Structure 1
Amino acid sequence: MLSDVPAPPPSSWRVALPHSTAAVPIARALIRTALADLDAPADSDTAELLTAELVANAVEHTDGSGPIELVVELLASGCQVEVHDHDPGAPGDLSSLLPGSAPDPWQEHGRGLILIRTLSSACGHRPTAHGKAVWFTLPSSRTPPGPAA
């Protein structure tokens, strides 16, 4: 006999995106939807901004040999967002901001990785079977319930 217990909500979301600038606004909408669908406890505005940066970097700095993939995973402490592409080359430095390495204020580009390092609780990249994944994690934005007054 089957029970009427509902299936647990999904703990991850995976979506292929076109390798074009159209992927950026699509990713912004998808990350907001994914976080709502997963009931993720992370700040959706920050997730949207950082996801757009990762997708824009993937479009700009990799060839168009395949789609970009957006992966959102719910964690006990927040969420992790990954953007997969087909280029195995490492992205710019996600680990630290070196002294004197601030972007040129007159240049249009060069701030995305700084935003990701600054606004995420962790970030990095890893090789995949078909290229690489660049990721960030966001902590829970929910305040745990306090003692009753």
Structure 2
Amino acid sequence: MLIHPCPCGYYNDPKNECSCRPYQVKKYLSKISGPLLDRIDMHIEVFPVEYKELAGKTINRSSEEIKRNVDKARKVQIRRYANETARYNSQLTPKLTKKYCKLGKSESQLLEKAFKKLRLSARSYNKIIKLSRTIADLDNSEDIELRHLSEAIQYRSLDKNFWNV
């Protein structure tokens, strides 16, 4: 789902100036409710790509390599949840999340800080933990580490950046 942050589409854009008044931005963003945003797993801010970046000789992973990594992570999840009702991290209930997505002390402290600072809901809290588990699976990591949790938190911060205007 693509959501522009304002009517002109340039609010918070580093290269283009937004022509909207603050009340217009607030009115525009109010069309999307917090509870709806809560149901979206990842919020990612994307800026236009410049031609030189597209035409450059950057080395990216191939689609085949990415697919292999995703398939491997899915197999890990299917094995992990073989005796459960869930097959994938996204299907975990809060009870299964506690069982399979244990956080260490530093990870728990980070999540607590994010929970308070971003004023996250219980739904967002659970989505962050499940997303962290998926990121760890993609990283071939048995445990959810700070870097996995940090990345997952970043994917949940846009609603607080835009919807607290």
Q: TM-score, normalised by structure 2?
A: 0.25
**Of the two structures, which has the highest relative contact order with CA contacts closer than 8 Å and spacing of 6 or more?**
2
Q: TM-score, normalised by structure 1?
A: 0.27
Higher strand share: 1
Higher helix share: 2
Larger radius of gyration: 2
